[in-house]
Each structure stands twice: as C-alpha cells, then as structure tokens.
C-alpha cells in the first residue's frame, strides 16, 4: 500500500522478533566465523525484550513511538557493537518519523536515511568495510530510487529489503575494516558479515509487515 501506520510498525517489530529467533543460530554461526559468536544471541535477546515492552505503548501510539521503544530497549539490553548501533538507528528513525500517524514513501526514505546516518555517526563505517552499513546503504539507495519512481511504501520497503539482502551477500568477499572482524585481516574473506545479515532480516520483516 501507499503508506504505513502504527499497526505496520507493531507488526514489523513482532515479525522481526520472530525472524531473529528463527535465525538465532545462523547469526551465531556467522559471528563465530569472524567475531565472538554472540550476534544471534544479542539480537534475539534484544528483540524479546522489545516485545515485552511493546505492551507499555498506548493504543494511540504512532510509528515513531514504536521505533523509540525499540531504540531505548536495544540500547539498554543489547551490549556489544550491535546494541548501540541498532539503538541509534531506531532512535534516529523515530526522530525522523516524529508524531506522524502514517508514513508515505518519502517519509520512509527519510527515516531509513536517518537510521543509516545514525549508524555511520556512531560507528564510522564506510561502504565496503564489511559491516551492517553494507546492507543499509544499498537499502537507502534502493528506497531513494523507489521514491523517484513514484512507488508507495510497501514497494519501497520490498526494494530496500532486496538491496539489503544483496548487500549482505556482497560482504562475503570483503576484508573487514571495522568491528571485531577487522582483527582477522584476510581470514574474514569468504564469510558473510553477521550484522549485515541481521539488517537484511530486519528490513525484510519491515517489507513483509507492509504486505510486500
């Protein structure tokens, strides 16, 4: 559809928690190859905590209110690199969404861009550093192309998720320049970045929740 609302935001987060629980072992295994093996646990635990706090939202909560609860919960419950990075992403997206009851495609592009810029501000990664940015930046670019083509919200989210999935796969041949994987040099080559993979899962859940 053309816009997304608070029901979409709630469905997205519920579905993200399910998907991250289903992919917990996969993300742990990716992080075991080039990190410390906790990424699946971190994300699953963080989103289960988010689910528990969703009940605190008032009935008239906006998409921005949902995103803000995700941000504060991830910041307070998920340690490591990913907690503050995703926390910042959701916080910046919440600020971008503001108090609007619905987000159209340009508003979603603005929120995705704010999320990506927040991750960059916090972690200083550039495209090609083998981090979650390698999923987020192609997603933002695809969202911008969707807006330029006049697409609605669900089409935009589908395009962003597809680009994030391709971006996660494209981290496999890379040497890492940020995060724990950067200590491995050439030994990180041939392994997919776990944070790029979890970002692709999150964005696919957003698209699915929009009926894409």
Eight-state DSSP code of residue 81 = T
Give whichever of 88 and 208 is closer to ligand ADP, judged by the CB atom.
88
Applying CB under 6 A, which part among 4-12, 51-59, 123-131, 140-148 lies near ligand ADP? Answer: 123-131
Q: Using CB under 6 A, pick the residue from 6, 12, 38, 96 that binds ligand ADP.
A: 38
Within the chain, residue ranges assigned H as helices are 6-22, 24-34, 39-54, 63-77, 82-97, 105-123, 133-148, 153-169, 194-209
CB atoms within 10 A of CB 25: 12
Q: Using CB under 6 A, pick the residue from 125, 142, 202, 207 that binds ligand ADP.
A: 125
The pair phi, psi for residue 143, each rounded to 5°, is -65, -40
Give whichever of 124 and 187 is closer to ligand ADP, judged by the CB atom.
124
Convert 80-100 to b/e letters by CB count within 10 Å (16 or more is b).
bbbbbbbbbbbbbbbebbeeb
Is residue 131 close enough to count as binding ligand ADP by CB under 6 A? yes
Is residue 178 close enough to count as binding ligand ADP by CB under 6 A? yes
Is residue 112 close enough to count as binding ligand ADP by CB under 6 A? no
Binding region for ligand ADP (CB under 6 A):
31, 35-36, 38-39, 42, 80-82, 85, 119, 123-125, 131-133, 178-180, 193-196
């Amino acid at each position: 559809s053309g816009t997304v609302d608070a029901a979409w935001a709630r469905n997205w987060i519920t579905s993200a928690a399910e998907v991250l629980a289903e992919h917990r072992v996969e993300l742990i295994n990716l992080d075991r190859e080039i990190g410390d093996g906790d990424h699946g646990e971190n994300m699953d635990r963080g989103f289960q905590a988010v689910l528990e706090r969703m009940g605190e939202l008032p009935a008239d909560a906006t998409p921005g209110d949902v995103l803000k609860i995700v941000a504060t919960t991830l910041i307070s419950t998920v340690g490591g690199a990913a907690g503050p990075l995703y926390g910042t992403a959701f916080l910046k997206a919440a600020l971008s969404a503001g108090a609007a009851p619905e987000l159209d495609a340009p508003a979603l592009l603005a929120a995705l861009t704010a999320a990506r810029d927040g991750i960059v501000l916090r972690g200083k990664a550039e495209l090609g550093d083998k981090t979650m940015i390698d999923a987020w930046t192609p997603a933002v670019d695809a969202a911008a192309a969707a807006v330029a083509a006049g697409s609605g919200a669900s089409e935009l989210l589908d395009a962003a998720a597809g680009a994030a999935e391709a971006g996660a796969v494209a981290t496999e041949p890379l040497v890492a320049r940020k995060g724990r994987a950067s200590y491995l040099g050439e030994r990180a080559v041939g392994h997919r970045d776990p944070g790029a993979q979890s970002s692709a899962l999150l964005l696919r859940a957003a698209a699915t929740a929009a009926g894409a």
